[in-house]
């Protein structure tokens, strides 16, 4: 950690920031020219996904992941209890979807096996609610000062993470805040963001010139798609000090992951937020360049690589992209399918919480890809929806899930807030988009139908969790007992199993 702390201190120096921003400006100009020259164009669409999990001990409590677990199946993430699985990109077609599912299932199985050998399990969940031994507060506020650097004891010891933490704290006045129903407090580190786990479906766009169309339509789907996926309605029970648990269940948000992540950063700068529209493909470079700089590093601090690759040619700009947090983000320069000397441009669909089963996570990946492509393929009038209305819908969904006030324009041009009309159109367009990519009806129903069933039954993981807690409270259990009982039931059903839509409520 000593070497990492030295890097953190260097990242916070004024001279580093000045040089970093000079390089970002130069690289942004070069990347703009590359976009205009078609350097990021590719033959077709491609899919990928990132999946975050957390670890629990044999008694179901949050626990750290031993170093021996990490390797090919999974990577380290923000907290010492976190891990990330990801897939390499595949073409967006019938076989590509099958390949994505095989990859994710294999990596989950292998990482789960590695964890089991250490006496722990990885959980497919959006927020841990059973605290580690010693409690949530002690875990999330364990900080010390070393050589003028704040060190969060349960944060993965990577210089980048600690630099982000220190830069945010410096710009936020020394603490960051969380204000949600039942909790209103400050933290001495951004580590409370590690309460959450997410998935990120990726969609590679073949023609950068068409990127604004795909991006802007995708932004208008964020609310309705998130409403189908909500899975983090509760914090650990020891975070709450409430007299009326039933009232807490009524007032809590269906997707606490959103305000947790925003609260961990946005006291410093408004960086975690709803995306702005793009007018031109080069806007993605301008937005990234102009975003507030957080935790700048310089390329020569780390091991040199092949300077002909995108990450080396645009090293500082790519590093800055790691702190460009929008709920829909464009990534330039990724490795396209088949490799070679080409680069790519892709959409990262970022608001979705980790889902209970592998089938459900792939289902949302397939739904998002089909929906976005279907909207563009059909020249859908959803593009006419005001971006402000889409943003209002998104944050209403964060609080109210499927009971939110929706904002949509149907294929026949009708403006509607009726969720039945929204989802009838949404699933129709998604199926159209998948068929246009050569995906069979059988595969579509395997992955899309279980997500559609959530709307038909008005049951999402968050509503399941809230009802499970409510039932246990009705049996006379305390809030802590009810939450932990719900969580045990959730964990016993989650994993590489049948989709969530087939779960019973107990």
pLDDT in tens, 364-416: 999 999 999 999 999 999 999 999 999 999 999 999 999 999 999 999 999 99
What is the distance between the alpha carbons of residues 322 and 331, in angstroms, rounded to a whole number?
Answer: 10
Question: Two tokens at 93?
Answer: 């077609």
- The number of residues making up the chain comes to 506
- Residue 341: is it exposed, middle or buried by C-beta count within 10 angstroms (0-12/13-18/19+)? exposed
Question: Which of 70-79, 116-125, 191-200, 225-234 bottoms out in mean pLDDT, i.e. has the lowest?
Answer: 70-79
Would you state the structure tokens that stand for residue 320, as one six-digit string? Answer: 């800055």
The Cα diameter of the chain in Å comes to 67
Tokens of 505: 């409520």
- Quote the crossing angle between the two packed helices 419-436 and 358-377, to the nearest 10°: 90
Q: Are 204 and 53 in contact (CB under 8 A)?
A: no
Bridge partners, 248 (sequence order): none
Tell me what the pLDDT averaged over the chain comes to.
95
Q: Dihedral angle at the C-alpha atoms of 352, 103, 336, 283, nearest 10 degrees? A: 0
User: Residue 101's closest CA among 48, 55, 38?
Assistant: 48
Q: What is the 3-state secondary structure (H, E, C) of 16-77?
A: HHHHHHHHHHHHHHHHHHHHHCCCCCCCCCEEEEEEEEEEEECCCCECCCCHHHCCCCCEEC
Q: What percentage of residues in the chain have a pLDDT greater than 90?
A: 92
**The pLDDT of residue 17:** 98
Nearest-10 Cα torsion for 244, 138, 273, 169: 130
Other CB atoms within 10 A of residue 279 CB: 9
Q: What is the mean pLDDT of residues 25-31?
A: 97
Question: Tell me, what's the pLDDT at 311?
Answer: 77
Task: Summarize the chain as % helix, strand, coil (round to 5).
Answer: 50, 15, 35
Q: Tell me, what's the pLDDT at 144?
A: 96
Question: Which is nearest to 498 in space by CA: 313, 305, 309, 360?
Answer: 360
Residue 191's pLDDT band (cuts 50, 70, 90): very high
Q: What is the pLDDT of residues 300-313, one digit of tens each?
A: 998 655 455 777 88
Q: What is the pLDDT of residue 506?
A: 46
d(CA 223, CA 213): 18
CB 171 within 8 A of CB 268: yes
Q: What pLDDT does residue 497 have?
A: 79
Domains annotated on the chain, with CATH: 2-502 (3.30.590.20)
**Which tens digit of pLDDT belongs to each residue from 455-472?**
999 999 999 999 999 999
Up-side HSE of residue 232: CA atoms within 13 Å toward CB? 29
Q: Is the pTM of this model over 0.95?
A: yes
């Amino acid at each position: 950690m000593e070497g990492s702390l030295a890097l953190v201190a260097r990242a916070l120096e004024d001279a580093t920031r000045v040089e970093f921003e000079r390089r970002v400006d130069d690289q942004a100009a070069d990347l703009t020219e590359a976009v205009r020259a078609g350097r990021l164009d590719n033959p077709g669409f491609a899919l990928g996904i990132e999946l975050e999990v957390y670890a629990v001990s044999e008694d179901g409590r949050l626990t750290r992941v031993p170093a021996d677990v990490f390797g090919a199946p999974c990577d380290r993430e923000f907290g010492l209890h976190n891990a990330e699985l990801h897939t390499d990109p595949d073409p967006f077609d019938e076989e590509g979807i099958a390949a994505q599912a095989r990859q994710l299932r294999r990596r989950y199985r292998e990482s789960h096996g590695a964890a089991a050998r250490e006496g722990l399990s990885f959980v497919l969940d959006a927020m841990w609610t059973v605290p580690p031994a010693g409690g949530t507060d002690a875990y999330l506020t364990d900080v010390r000062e070393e050589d003028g650097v704040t060190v969060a004891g349960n944060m993965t010891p990577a210089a980048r993470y600690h630099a982000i933490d220190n830069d945010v704290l410096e710009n936020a006045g020394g603490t960051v805040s969380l204000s949600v129903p039942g909790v209103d407090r400050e933290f001495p580190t951004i580590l409370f963001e590690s309460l959450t786990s997410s998935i990120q479906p990726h969609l590679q766009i073949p023609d950068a010139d068409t990127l604004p169309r795909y991006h802007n339509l995708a932004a208008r789907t964020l609310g309705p798609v998130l409403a189908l996926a909500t899975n983090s309605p509760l914090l650990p029970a020891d975070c709450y000090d409430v007299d009326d648990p039933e009232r807490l269940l009524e007032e809590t948000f269906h997707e606490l992951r959103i305000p947790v992540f925003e609260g961990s950063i946005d006291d410093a700068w408004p960086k975690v937020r709803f995306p702005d529209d793009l007018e031109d493909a080069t806007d993605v470079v301008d937005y990234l360049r102009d975003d507030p700089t957080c935790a700048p590093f310089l390329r020569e601090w780390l091991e040199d690589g092949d300077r002909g690759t995108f990450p080396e040619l645009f090293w500082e700009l790519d590093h800055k992209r790691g702190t460009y947090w929008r709920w829909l983000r464009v990534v330039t320069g990724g490795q396209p399918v088949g490799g070679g000397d080409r680069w790519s441009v892709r959409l990262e669909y970022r608001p979705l919480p980790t889902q209970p089963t592998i089938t459900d996570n792939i289902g949302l990946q397939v739904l998002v890809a089909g929906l976005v492509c279907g909207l563009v393929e059909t020249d859908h009038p959803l593009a006419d929806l005001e971006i402000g209305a889409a943003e209002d819908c998104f944050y209403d969904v964060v609080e109210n899930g499927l009971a939110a006030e929706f904002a949509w324009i149907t294929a026949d041009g009708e403006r509607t807030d009726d969720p039945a009309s929204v989802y009838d159109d949404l699933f129709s367009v998604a199926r159209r988009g998948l068929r246009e990519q050569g995906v069979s009806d059988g595969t579509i129903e395997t992955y899309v139908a279980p997500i559609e069933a959530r709307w038909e039954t008005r049951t999402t993981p968050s509503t399941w969790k809230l009802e499970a807690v409510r039932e246990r409270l009705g049996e006379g259990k305390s809030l802590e007992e009810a939450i932990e009982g719900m969580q045990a039931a959730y964990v016993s059903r989650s994993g590489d199993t049948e989709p969530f839509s087939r779960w019973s409520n107990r």
